[in-house]
Structure 1
Amino acid sequence: MPKQYKIDAVAEIESKIESNAGVYVVSYNGLTVLQAQELRKQLREAGAQMKVYKNNLVRIALENKEQPNLDEMLVGPLAYVFFEEEPVSAAKVLKEFAKKSKGVLEIKGGISDGQAVTAAEVDAIAELPSKDQLLGQIAGLINGFARDIAVCVNGVSSGLARTVQQISEQKAA
Structure 2
Amino acid sequence: MTREEKAVIIDELSQKFLNTPYFYITNASGMTVSEVNSLRSLCFERGIEYRVVKNTLIKKALEALDTDYSSFDEVLKGFSGVMFHPESGKVPAQLIKDFKKKSGNDKLKFKGASVDSAVFVGESQLDVLISLKSKQEMVGEVIGLLQSPAKNVISALSSGGNKLAGILKTLSEKED
Which range, TM-score by smaller chain? 0.7 to 0.9
State the 4+ residue runs in structure 1 displaced beyond 4 angstroms: 129-147
Q: Distance in 2 between matches of 1:37 and 1:146?
A: 51
Deviation digits for residues 85-126 of structure 1 (CA, Å, limit 9, x no counterpart): 321112211222123332111101122212321233342121
Counting aligned pairs with the same residue, the percent is 27
SS of equivalent residue, structure 1 residue 85: coil
Choose the corresponding residue for 2:162, options 158, 163, 167: 158
- The reply to whether residue 14 of structure 1 matches residue 14 of structure 2 is yes
User: How large is the RMSD of aligned CA atoms in angstroms?
Assistant: 2.4
Which one of 107, 111, 114 corresponds to residue 108 of structure 1?
A: 111
Amino acid at match of 1:162: G
TM-score, scaled to structure 1: 0.83
Aligned pairs (5 A) from 1:36-51: 36-51=36-51
- 1:37-76 superposed Cα distances (whole Å, 9 cap, x missing partner): 2222322333321101110111111112234111100111
Q: What TM-score, normalized by structure 2, do the two folds share?
A: 0.82
In the alignment of these two chains, the number of paired residues is 171
Aligned pair in 2 of structure 1 residues 76, 40: CA closer, same or farther (>3 Å)?
same
Asked whether the equivalents of residues 92 and 127 of structure 1 are also in contact (C-alpha less than 8 Å), the reply is no
Uncovered stretches (5+) of structure 1, i.e. residues with no partner? none
Distance 1:82 1:3 in 2: 25
**Alpha-carbon distance change, 72 to 138 in structure 1, aligned in 2, over 3 angstroms:** same
Partner of residue 130 from structure 2, selected from 126, 129, 133:
126
Q: Letter of the aligned partner of 2:10 in structure 1?
A: V
Equivalent residues of 1:51, 1:80 under 8 A apart: yes
> Distance between the aligned counterparts of 1:145 and 1:97, measured in 2?
43
Q: Note the C-alpha offset of 1:143.
A: 6.5
* CA shift for structure 1 position 137: 5.2
Unmatched runs of 5 consecutive residues or more in structure 2: none
Change in CA separation of 1:8 and 1:96 when aligned onto 2, cut-off 3 Å? same
The amino acid that maps onto 1:76 is G
Distance in 2 separating the partners of 1:131 and 1:46: 17
Q: 1:116 to 1:138 in 2, by over 3 A?
A: closer
Query: The residue matched to 1:23 in structure 2 has which SS?
Result: strand
